[in-house]
């Protein structure tokens, strides 16, 4: 008798793309606002971005129910941290917490592909990129989600991040200015929207810098 396969899956993919770029004193995190299932659109106006701590923002694509649960868990853990340490979690600390939280469900994973962006303790931009079970790495820029295969090569071409294997270690942050980085993000999403059916409607762009957090929206093709 051949092995029986499940007639139901606990997962669904709601599509969408996320991007984050780290600068010398800023970080840009962006995600489209389209939520879909199969070939249908559920809504054009759903935020995939979560403001976890003062200097730490997460964008997640994948199964949004798992994303929501993950955001809630991290939010609750951050509150506990604040009670115990009397301060906000730093972005690198939150990065480790996210990794541990994802691996905790190694054998029934959160179907969530995350990019974490923020400012490190020196005020420099930092971006962390994850897989679904918590493997992570600090990088200068990253993209996740349905459009990442279209976006990532373009970012590689434009941002030319040095190899993390180089010695002495070179800074991964981009020399671009904040406005140039935001323009790059807008270009990248407009391009991804053309060919990825799951990316479109609007892109939500969050900029974290010394003066705080700023949120912007840009319309994308709705087809």
Partner 1 sequence: MFRNQYDTDVTTWSPAGRLFQVEYAMEAVKQGSAAIGLRSKTHVVLACVNKANSELSSHQKKIFKVDDHIGVAIAGLTADGRVLSRYMRSECINYNYTYESPLPVGRLVVQLADKAQVCTQRSWKRPYGVGLLVAGLDESGAHLYYNCPSGNYFEYQAFAIGSRSQAAKTYLERKFNNFTASSREDLIKDALIAARESLQGEKLTSSVCTIAVVGVGEPFHIL
The one segment of 79-87, 115-123, 124-132, 175-183 that binds partner 1 by CB under 8 A: 79-87
Strand intervals (E) in the chain? 17-22, 26-32, 35-37, 40-43, 49-53, 56-62, 112-119, 125-130, 136-139, 141-145, 202-209, 212-219
The one segment of 18-26, 47-55, 73-81, 132-140 that binds partner 1 by CB under 8 A: 73-81
**Longest C-alpha distance within the chain, in Å?**
64
Residues 43-72 that bind partner 1 (CB under 8 A): 72
Residues 171-200 that bind partner 1 (CB under 8 A): none
Q: Where are the alpha helices (DSSP H) in 29-161?
A: 64-85, 91-104, 148-159
Tell whether residue 76 is a contact of partner 1 (CB under 8 A).
yes
Q: Find the shortest distance in angstroms from Cβ 76 to partner 1.
A: 5
Tell whether residue 87 is a contact of partner 1 (CB under 8 A).
no
Tell whether residue 79 is a contact of partner 1 (CB under 8 A).
yes
Tell whether residue 80 is a contact of partner 1 (CB under 8 A).
yes
d(C-alpha 141, C-alpha 115), whole Å: 9
Q: Find the shortest distance in angstroms from Cβ 38 to partner 1.
A: 28
Pull the structure tokens for residue 122. Answer: 């020196």
Say how many residues touch partner 1, by CB under 8 A.
6
Nearest to 53 by CA among 97, 89, 79: 89
Binding site for partner 1 (CB under 8 A): 72-73, 76, 79-80, 83
């Amino acid at each position: 008798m051949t092995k029986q396969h499940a007639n139901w899956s606990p997962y669904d993919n709601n599509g969408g793309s996320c991007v984050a770029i780290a600068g010398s004193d800023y970080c840009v995190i962006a995600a489209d606002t389209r939520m879909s299932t199969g070939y249908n659109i559920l809504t054009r106006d759903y935020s995939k971005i979560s403001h976890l701590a003062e200097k730490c923002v997460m964008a997640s694509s994948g199964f949004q129910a798992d994303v929501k649960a993950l955001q809630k868990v991290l939010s609750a853990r951050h509150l506990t941290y604040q009670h115990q340490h009397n301060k906000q979690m730093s972005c690198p600390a939150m990065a480790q917490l996210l990794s541990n939280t994802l691996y905790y469900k190694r054998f029934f994973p959160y179907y969530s592909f995350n990019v974490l962006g923020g400012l490190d303790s020196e005020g420099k931009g930092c971006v962390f990129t994850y897989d679904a079970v918590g493997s992570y790495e600090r990088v200068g820029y990253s993209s996740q989600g349905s459009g990442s295969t279209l976006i990532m090569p373009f970012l590689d071409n434009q941002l030319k991040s040095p190899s993390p294997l180089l010695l002495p270690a070179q800074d991964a942050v981009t020399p671009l200015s904040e406005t140039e980085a935001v323009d790059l993000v807008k270009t990248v999403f407009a391009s991804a929207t053309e060919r990825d059916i799951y990316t479109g409607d609007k892109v939500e762009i969050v900029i974290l810098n010394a003066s705080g957090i700023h949120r912007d929206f840009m319309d994308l093709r709705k087809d």
